Amino acid sequence: MGNADKVKTIAVLTGGGDAPGLNAVIRAVVRTALGQGLKVWGIKNGFGGMVENQLVELTNDSVAGILPRGGTILGTTNRDNPFHYPVVRDGQVIYEDLSGQALANLRQAGIEALVVIGGDGSLKIASEFYQLGLPVVAVPKTIDNDIPGTERTFGFDTAVGVAAEALDRLHTTAESHHRVMVLEVMGRYAGWIALHAGMAGGADCILLPEIPFSIDSVIAKIKERQQHGRQFSLIVIAEGAYPQGGEVSVSRIVEGSHEKIRLGGAGEKLARAIEQLTGVESRCTVLGHVQRGGTPTAFDRILSTRYGVAAAECVLEGAFGNMVALQKDRIIRRPIDDIAGKANNITADNELLRAGRSIGICFGD
């Protein structure tokens, strides 16, 4: 493994949650690699399929027509980690390190390099395999846009578009009914979707995990609008946003892993508090998984295609251990180890945040 100009066979897998553009990345990896004479395997169902040896050969026919389709033709899962893999022993589920078996499966199939398309969790696993000697290239995937080292992850633009369209629909109802409409969008730790969708959809308040909010500020904004004759308000809240000091009881229990998080219905609680404190009819909509699936926007199809081509080129040039990233409208390479396990949050000097303040958006602080 590892000698670039000898790589003849590669594999690609998709890990973690769904994100629009997965198929577009796969297509670009496959087409680029086949165009250079490589053989390409798909690993089904994420890292679990690496353990279970679920391989399928990918040809130009495999990827024909998949560019506009949501989901992933390879299947995925956000559960399985080969280094901590669930197996049943004596009727009980225990966790074992089956990374060796996973590597052996690749070796047996003659696979010399792996393209991992995934988010935070998948990058960590990819990094561990890389340290074990597997030539790995990663593509940053998350609708949340919270992977550091890249200006954009693919899937984000589509999620923002879906949320902004929902705001457009809620807007007319809010205005006609003199209501406060709250839209809860995805974003447990980072508020990128809320920030962008709120800006695109004309929200009056945008509440982010990065800025604990004061319910008083939100109420003040609603009242200020009423004084100017606007009998309605639109609020976007990230699922992970929470109030300062607990005026509204949004619970937020994080116990070490994504799976353990139980969010407390941030949007619903906020809507109830607003209705109670202002007397204005308030309604909450939780957009949920609609943000994660379906056909990607043109932007995401293009970004995914660029990422896929760039990942295949990393393989061809032997530039392993890298994640492809967007910077200054170009695709660059960043060492996975610099990124895995780190977060990308909205900071106080974020230009879009400041632009929002300039046009009078309340961020709850």
Q: According to the annotation, is 337 in a ligand binding site?
A: no
CB of 267 to its own copies, least distance (A): 10
CB closer to its own copies out of 60 and 131: 60
Any idea which residues carry the catalytic annotation? 144
CB 271 within 8 A of CB 183: no
CB of 304 to its own copies, least distance (A): 10
The C-alpha angle with vertex 165 and arms to 163 and 166, in degrees rounded to 5, equals: 65
Q: According to the annotation, is 283 in a ligand binding site?
A: yes
d(CA 231, CA 238): 24
Biggest alpha carbon distance in the chain?
71
d(CA 109, CA 99): 16
Name beta bridge partners: 136: 114
Chain-centroid distance of CA 207 in Å reads 19
Q: According to the annotation, is 257 in a ligand binding site?
A: no
d(CA 184, CA 236): 6
Name beta bridge partners: 117: 14, 139
Q: According to the annotation, is 240 in a ligand binding site?
A: no
CB closer to its own copies out of 5 and 351: 351
Q: According to the annotation, is 143 in a ligand binding site?
A: yes
CB of 213 to its own copies, least distance (A): 21
d(CA 331, CA 303): 9
Half-sphere exposure of residue 280, counting CA atoms within 13 Å on the CB side? 26
CB closer to its own copies out of 103 and 146: 146
CB closer to its own copies out of 103 and 263: 263
Q: According to the annotation, is 50 in a ligand binding site?
A: no
CB of 59 to its own copies, least distance (A): 10
CB of 131 to its own copies, least distance (A): 28
d(CA 348, CA 87): 45
Q: According to the annotation, is 204 in a ligand binding site?
A: no
The candidate with the shortest Cα–Cα distance to 280, out of 198, 237, 225, 202, is 225
CB of 107 to its own copies, least distance (A): 27
CB closer to its own copies out of 134 and 300: 300
Q: Which residues contact residue 76 at a Cβ distance below 8 angstroms, ignoring those fewer than 6 apart?
A: 14, 15, 16, 17, 18, 22, 45, 46
CB closer to its own copies out of 31 and 134: 31
**312-347 b/e (C-beta count within 10 Å ≥ 16 → b):** bbbbbeebbbbbbbbeeeebebbebeebbeeebebe
Binding residue numbers for Mg(2+): 120
Binding residue numbers: 17, 79-80, 119-122, 142-144, 179, 186-188, 239, 283, 289-292
Binding residue numbers for substrate: 142-144, 179, 186-188, 239, 283, 289-292
